[in-house]
Structure 1
Amino acid sequence: MMPSLFIAHGAPSLALEENAYTEFLQKLGQDLPKPKAIVLFSAHWESTTQLVSAVTGSYDTIYDFGGFQPELYQIKYPAQGHAETTAEIIKVFTEAGISVQTDEVRGLDHGAWVVLRLLYPEADIPVIALSVNRYLTGEQQYQVGQALASLREQNVLVIGSGGTVHNLRRLNWESQGVDSWAMEFDSWLQDKLEHWDTDALFAYDKLAPSAQAAVPTPEHFVPILIAMGAGDEKKQASLLFRAYQLGNLSLSCWRFE
């Protein structure tokens, strides 16, 4: 059975970087069994209704950022959609009572293509992009992932792309170390994920240290709850990688069985 993953996508410039994290993601893509399709929730596609991509040809590459290196705007990631998996997603969401709509035109934003390009640089695996809804409760986010758990048995890889500590206003451009508050939040998160303490995780904004600094808005955090929900059957969480850039921007990867 395929795992589900949470992968921090960092800044768009990650696509051009060569560091321990990009090397890790490249190796991860090589080590995983090749999936039939990838289902990816990006923090940069938000909607109050669950949207599922129904692109039939190649995705356009969306450059939803400004002020970065010119080379970034030349990158293409022409992955294909996958009608069979889109139909299966609609089926399991409907059975779970989750309202869902399709989107036939939207391309892949940087939360999707930066990660996918590092994992699968040939863009030879079909992709189904899904939106996130910041207004759902933590339990509802988990249930979105839970509804997709059966796809893992069909060799489909479920990925939540976001960031556990993601506060652009608190980035420290001069820092050579890691801010203590960011590490405290991620350490709390690690403990709750490894013990599968959903009650605490669903109330992270009230219980976790430095939660407001780490997660000023929830759209980058909720993909980890979705990915976790997809691993509900065995309830096993493993931290595969963690590092930080600019003092507190977390680059982490979690695997859920």
Structure 2
Amino acid sequence: MFPSFFIAHGAPLLAIEDNEYTQFVQQLGRTLPRPKAVVLFSAHWEALVQRVSQVDEYETIYDFGGFPEALYRIQYPAKGNDQLSEEIKELLTDHGISYEVETSRGLDHGAWVVLRMLYPDADIPVISMSVNPHLSPEEQYKVGHSLSALREKDILIIGSGGTVHNLGMVNMAGENQIDQWALDFDKWLEEHLNNWDVESLFQYHSLAPSAKLAVPLYGSEHFIPLFYAMGAAHNQQKATLLHRSYRYGNLSHSVWQFGE
């Protein structure tokens, strides 16, 4: 059975950087058994109804501006998998979750930056999934839980985002000092994830220190993929922090594994 993962995609520059974090994720891709496919929930695909991609081959979306030209030359032509898309639709239906099928959308950078670090040859089928910040954390967790059976079929489920992601607070020159408020939030998160304390986690915005800085009230889309990934491992309630580092003072690069 595959674990599920929450993997930070950081700033788009990660796609062309060589640093502690990119090296870790690349090594993770080499260490994990090869999955039959990847199901990825991206912070950069928001929808009010759960969207399920059913695409033959994905285009690469450059959903950012003002970065080096090298970023815009990157291609990640992953293929879809119709059979897996159909299976996901059945699982969502069985769990009473409404969905819509997306047949043309490419992979945004929340998806391809992570996938390219893990599997640079783009040779593993991908099903891209949306996230919905307007759902409660319980409902986001339920969506992930509905897909948990896929882990038994060598399918890798990933939530891509960032536990601390507040672009209004980043310091592009702040590489050597980490803001205490970001550390406080992530340490609270670590404690409650390690205990699988969903009751507290679902109320993170009122209980966690500095939650309003780490997860801005109208900017939760980067945090919530954590609940989708966590829900996918509901039948194996074990959380393991594999990596945590920071850029720009407080932008978190964390990798959480759920299940075994």
TM-score relative to the length of structure 1: 0.99
CA displacement 1:16-42 (0-9 Å, x = unmatched): 010011000111001111000000000
CA displacement 1:209-255 (0-9 Å, x = unmatched): 00000001110011001100001111000000000000000000000
Are residue 191 (structure 1) and residue 195 (structure 2) matched? no
Who is 2:233 aligned against?
A: 231
Who is 2:68 aligned against?
A: 69
Secondary structure in 2 aligned to 1:178? coil
**Using the alignment, how far apart are the partners of 1:174 and 1:117 within structure 2?**
26
Who is 1:219 aligned against?
A: 221
Aligned-partner residue type, residue 196 of structure 2: W
The residue correspondences of 1:108-123 to structure 2 (distance < 5 A) are 108-123=107-122
Who is 1:49 aligned against?
A: 49
The residue correspondences of 1:148-227 to structure 2 (distance < 5 A) are 148-175=147-174, 176-216=176-216, 217-227=219-229
TM-superposed CA distance for 1:174, in Å, is 2.7
**Using the alignment, how far apart are the partners of 1:95 and 1:38 within structure 2?**
21
Q: CA RMSD in A?
A: 0.5
Who is 1:28 aligned against?
A: 28
TM-superposed CA distance for 1:169, in Å, is 0.2
Secondary structure in 1 aligned to 2:145? helix
For these two proteins, the number of residue pairs brought into alignment is: 256
Range that drifts further, 171-180 or 216-225: 171-180
Q: Which runs of 4+ in 1 moved over 2 A?
A: none
TM-superposed CA distance for 1:99, in Å, is 0.1
Who is 1:93 aligned against?
A: 92
TM-superposed CA distance for 1:173, in Å, is 2.2
Are residue 125 (structure 1) and residue 124 (structure 2) matched? yes
Who is 2:10 aligned against?
A: 10
Secondary structure in 1 aligned to 2:2? coil
Gaps of 5+ in 2: none
CA displacement 1:63-97 (0-9 Å, x = unmatched): 00000111000000000000111011000000000
**Using the alignment, how far apart are the partners of 1:234 and 1:130 within structure 2?**
22
Identity percentage over the alignment?
57
**Using the alignment, how far apart are the partners of 1:115 and 1:132 within structure 2?**
16
